[in-house]
Amino acid sequence: MRVAVVGGGIIGLAIGRELLLRGADVTVFDPGGDDGAWHVAAGMLAPGGESAFEFPFLEPLLEASNALWPSYAASLGDVGYDDAGTLSVALTADDVASASREWKHQKLSTLTGSQVRELEPALSPRVRAGAFSPTERQVDPRKVVSVLRTVLKGRIVARQVTDLSEIDAEIVVVAAGVGTASLTGLPIRPVKGQVLRLHGEPGLLRHVIDGEADGRHVYLVPRANGEVVVGATMEERSDHFTTAGGVHDLLRAALDLVPGLSEHELTEITAGHRPGTPDNAPILGRLGLGRLDERTVVAAGHHRNGVLLTPITARLIADLVLTGTADPLLDAFTPGRFGCA
């Protein structure tokens, strides 16, 4: 079967690889470069985070994908997969009150400040409480994309697609992140996020830190090479500016929680766009019954969880493409729920 995938971000490439492994003749169209949200993303694999709390119907999909990550990462090789787990922490009494709702939802026991510092000694003595989630892990999205690009070498065409009808294939999978909106008319909007990358001696932090500091939410994702990814702002904006206020808020919260980060070098400030949808859940399925739509499958709108949702999206979209049948897990995520199909 000849399949074209439009968009070579983490989702499109993962679908392309899955189809290739199952014998399809795959071509991926992407302008190339580092334009996708994957390049900015921290790579937290956090199925129990805010998304599940706010959008319970997403939970089964997030959990199913999280369960696939250990074997998926092993099948890719070195992609920075780290299963040390996530330590969620809160600085002030108000921060504890707000974080506790989530800990309760995730059925995590609350740890005292000193218990939290036993697990992560670099945390400030001001941190009041926390909770440990062993199933919330991390991966490096840049490494994932690099491996996937290698697997699909020779099958990636450097092209920005503007009209799906120009693509010659039996099935067209549109996985173009925020670019999916103009190609399909689906309601996908950019949700800007600014992210910092710091660099210092490896080993300051062992776990992913997901923190509330004086009403500011921040996460710190430590990599084995000493990089610490600090994220992220959430802004309903489509520009690419990095701002003084965004950087200030992130650094302030990061240093309040882990003062030792002040000695790290600030190596990168980037802004990317999460592909958001009206219900903040992805759009996964056949576009509709129009003449051209018949061959079009959409896999986009993964918003804050695209890295986490990569393995399950690749598996279920490949199933749909190759068998014509949608797994029941996809029922809640059809393009039709927005009245566009």
Ligand X SMILES: Cc1cc2nc3c(=O)[nH]c(=O)nc-3n(C[C@H](O)[C@H](O)[C@H](O)COP(=O)(O)OP(=O)(O)OC[C@H]3O[C@@H](n4cnc5c(N)ncnc54)[C@H](O)[C@@H]3O)c2cc1C
Q: Is 16 a binder of ligand X (CB under 6 A)?
A: no
Interactions with ligand X, residue window 33-62 (CB under 6 A): 35-38, 40-44
Q: Which amino acid is at 186?
A: L
Among 12, 130, 200, 246, binds ligand X (CB under 6 A): 12
Q: Per-residue x/- marks for ligand X, 108-137, CB under 6 A?
A: ------------------------------
Q: Is 188 in the site for ligand X (CB under 6 A)?
A: no
Whose CA is closest to 183, among 209, 165, 163? 163
Of the listed pieces 28-36, 72-80, 84-92, 111-119, which binds ligand X according to CB under 6 A?
28-36
Torsion of CA 221, 279, 192, 28, to 10 degrees: 80
The correct pick among 144, 297, 308, 312 for binding ligand X (CB under 6 A) is 308
CB nearer to ligand X: give 136 or 256.
Answer: 136
Contacting range for ligand X; rule: CB under 6 A; set: 7-15, 50-58, 75-83, 325-333: 7-15
Q: Tokens 């996908």 label which residue?
A: 188
DSSP 109: P
Confirm or reject binding of residue 230 to ligand X (CB under 6 A): no
193 near ligand X (CB under 6 A): yes
* Site membership for ligand X, residue 72 (CB under 6 A): no
CB 134 within 8 Å of CB 85: yes
* CA 30/CA 9 separation, integer angstroms: 8
Residue 30 in contact with ligand X, rule: CB under 6 A: yes
The 3-state DSSP class for residue 108 equals coil
Q: Would you report the helix, strand and coil content of the chain in percent, each value rounded to 5?
A: 40, 25, 35
Rounded-to-integer distance, Cα 340 and Cα 337, Å: 7
User: Smallest Cα–Cα separation from 208: which of 186, 231, 238, 189?
Assistant: 231
Instruction: Compare residues 195 and 326 and give the one whose CB is closer to ligand X.
Output: 195
**Furthest CA-CA distance within the chain:** 63
Peptide bond into 232 cis (omega under 30): yes
251-290 residues in contact with ligand X (CB under 6 A) are: 272-275
Read off the tokens for 241. Answer: 């500016």
Task: Tell me whether residue 2 or residue 126 sits nearer to ligand X (CB atom).
Answer: 2
- Nearer Cβ to ligand X (99/221): 221
Question: Which residues are near ligand X by CB under 6 A?
Answer: 6-12, 29-31, 35-38, 40-44, 160-161, 175-177, 179, 183, 193, 195, 231-232, 272-275, 300, 302-308
